[in-house]
Amino acid sequence: MEFRDLKAQYQKYKNEINKAVGNVFEETSFISGPQVKTFENRLAEYVGVKHCITCANGTDALSLVLTAWGIGKGDAVFVPDFTFFATAEVVSFVGATPIFVDVDSKTFNINPIELEKKIQQTIFENKLTPKVIIPVDLFGLLADYSAIEMIANKYNLLVLEDGAQGFGAEYQGRKACGFGDAATTSFFPAKPLGCYGDGGAIFTNDDELAKLLESLRVHGKGEDKYDNVRIGVNSRLDTVQAAILDIKLDALINHELHDVNAIFRKYNKKLETYVEVPFIPNGYTSSFAQYTIRLADKEQRDSLKAFLQKNNIPSMIYYTKTMHNQIAFEKLNNIDIDYPISTSLCSTVLSLPMHPYLKDEEIELISSKIIEFLNS
């Protein structure tokens, strides 16, 4: 059994993927080939924004936007305490300071009430200038952008949506990566839309920002790559990956989003009386990068994980450590008492196998073993 079955997906689309990759090999336009622009245009249309700028990975996508906005030393950027390291890492990378915010106990996404408290506290302390909020679409579920954007407008802050785990998700008809002043996603293989290597993308309706990002991703180029008007980086999506992603975007749209949501409902039906299952608020559709349950405590969670492993059922813990407890951020002197939900989640969450190709008999086996463990 696979935690996320990329093999099954490849077998289903093997002919289409091989043909698309073969065309790139025939054309030998491996860097910035026509497939890249075609894919960018498709992504922008799908999300519903004017511009899509692809790059080498999701972390670069975040860094590029912060760089383009001029975020740096003395600036405060607000990020959830319960997320992957890259969300906060990029803030320090550009010289700014990440301000961690506790998350909601049901959605696990950044808590708007706690967010406003942190903004007010930062203003009161007057050591840093609040500049950006980076909400994360955790496990495939969009953050509460209605509340977040109201707060951002109130305090004149920019919003950068981290949609690395949320591509394909929706809220009342608006798609992930279509919120905030800019948004990013990752094409890491295990993501809802993943390539066969690394890749990322940035989305925005801001014409000037898009133009600047296109320059920054290719060594700060001007009219061409030998006309360098600013300091940039080398962060491009390979043509081969764009060709693969173009095929996989069709799969996502045609059936994969539907299939993971059907699997979510099947899991819930079997497990909701035994454990805390994922909470999807009304009006939201998740793309289910993960299906994450919550156990009573760390001992129960760890014991269940070991039990599943003995029965050849893979599971993962996202995440074992909060951002404020990362050694890289220890100089910020944050303490657990300020982040009770995030701290608790790290001891109680467990992610189960989740992908569009999960079979009914696998769902039955996983669920029955969890129930067997809990009843024992």
Domains and CATH numbers, the chain: 6-247 (3.40.640.10), 255-375 (3.90.1150.10)
Stated length of the chain: 376
- The structure tokens 């100089």 sit at 331
**At 170, is the secondary structure helix, strand, or coil?**
strand
Kindly state the average pLDDT of the residues 116-130.
98
Kindly state the average pLDDT of the residues 4-24.
98
pLDDT of residue 205: 98
pLDDT of residue 200: 98
Rg of the chain over Cα atoms, rounded to whole angstroms, equals 21
Task: Supply the pTM of this predicted model.
Answer: 0.97
Q: Is the pLDDT of residue 225 over 90?
A: no
Helix pair angle (14-27, 239-251), 10° resolution? 160
- The structure tokens 């799969």 sit at 251
Q: How far is CA 15 from the centre of its chain?
A: 29
Q: Is the pLDDT of residue 369 over 90?
A: yes
Kindly state the average pLDDT of the residues 216-231.
94
d(CA 116, CA 123): 11
pLDDT of residue 139: 98
Q: Considering the chain, what is the average pLDDT of its residues?
A: 97
d(CA 129, CA 111): 21
d(CA 188, CA 63): 16
- The structure tokens 């961690």 sit at 100
Q: Can you list the positions of beta strands (E) in 134-196? A: 158-162, 170-171, 174-175, 182-186
Q: How far is CA 14 from the centre of its chain?
A: 26
Concatenating the DSSP letter of every residue in 26-94 gives HHT--BS-HHHHHHHHHHHHHHT-SEEEEES-HHHHHHHHHHHTT--TTEEEEEESSS-HHHHHHHHHT
d(CA 370, CA 267): 11
Each residue's pLDDT tens digit, 173-219: 999 999 999 999 999 999 999 999 999 999 999 999 999 999 999 99
Amino acid present at 137: D
* Residue-wise burial string across 339-363, b where 16 or more C-beta atoms lie within 10 A, e elsewhere: bebbbbbbbbbbbbbbbbbbeeebb
Each residue's pLDDT tens digit, 58-68: 999 999 999 99
Q: How confident is the model at residue 46 (pLDDT cuts 50, 70, 90)?
A: very high
Q: Is the pLDDT of residue 224 over 90?
A: no
Question: What are the structure tokens assigned to 333, written together?
Answer: 């002197």
pLDDT > 70: what percent of the chain? Answer: 100
Q: Is the pLDDT of residue 137 over 90?
A: yes
Q: Distance between the two ends of the chain, CA-based, in angstroms?
A: 24
Q: How confident is the model at residue 299 (pLDDT cuts 50, 70, 90)?
A: very high
